[in-house]
Homo-oligomer: A and B are copies of this chain.
Amino acid sequence: MNDKFVIGLAGMPGAGKSVVVSVARASGYSVVVMGDVVREEAKRRRMKPTPENLGEIMLELRKKEGNSVVAKKCIPKIEKTKESKVIVDGIRSPSEIEEFKKHFPKLTIIAMQSSPETRFKRLYHRQRSDDPKNWKIFRERDMRELSVGLGEAIAMAEYIIVNEERLEVVKEKVKEVLRKVEKKWTK
């Protein structure tokens, strides 16, 4: 058991999770990125972190060690963080939420949400190495994310932030949610 406040952040690709992370970091949160677990595993295996390799490692880990494997591997990382408030970026399923809840009772799930059209436009203009080049690839990636349980995690979130407005407006919404979460756990 651990007394840290932990925020689990969920959101579809391009929903703007990074906005929540940056606001939380500026508010004194430590940040743990769930995807890093898979990237570290790639490094350990001396594989390049291409989307294909990362996807393959991810599926293999889940098959071998169960659906909450990534959450399990994140727990010591969360415990080791400097701050008493931690944001965990990239919750993907109810089983991960259950896993975190066992170790960190002060867990809150926040979901960032944007329409598919908005998300596609954002990712299309971002063009990180794993960002979609067209609507078909975008949909396929959405379906992959949903297949592991991301929709359920979003539907069960305690706070939903709709990210369709100007960045400043959305940042204010994030700050308000963080205030509410902290108020809940400090009372």
Which A residues lie at the B interface, using CB under 8 A? 12, 94, 113, 115-117, 142, 146, 149-160, 162
Contacts and interface: CB of A to CB of B under 8 A. Distances in A.
A178 to B, nearest CB: 15
Copies in the complex: 2
Contacts of A113: 113, 155, 157, 160
Nearest to A115: B158
Contacts of A155: 12, 113, 146, 150-151, 154-155
Nearest to A117: B158
Nearest to A149: B151
Nearest to A151: B151
Contacts of A149: 151
A150 B117 CA distance: 20
15 contacts: A94-B146, A113-B155, A113-B160, A115-B157, A142-B156, A146-B151, A150-B151, A150-B155, A151-B156, A154-B154, A154-B155, A155-B155, A160-B160, A160-B162, A162-B162
A159 B162 CA distance: 9
Nearest to A116: B156
Nearest to A114: B160
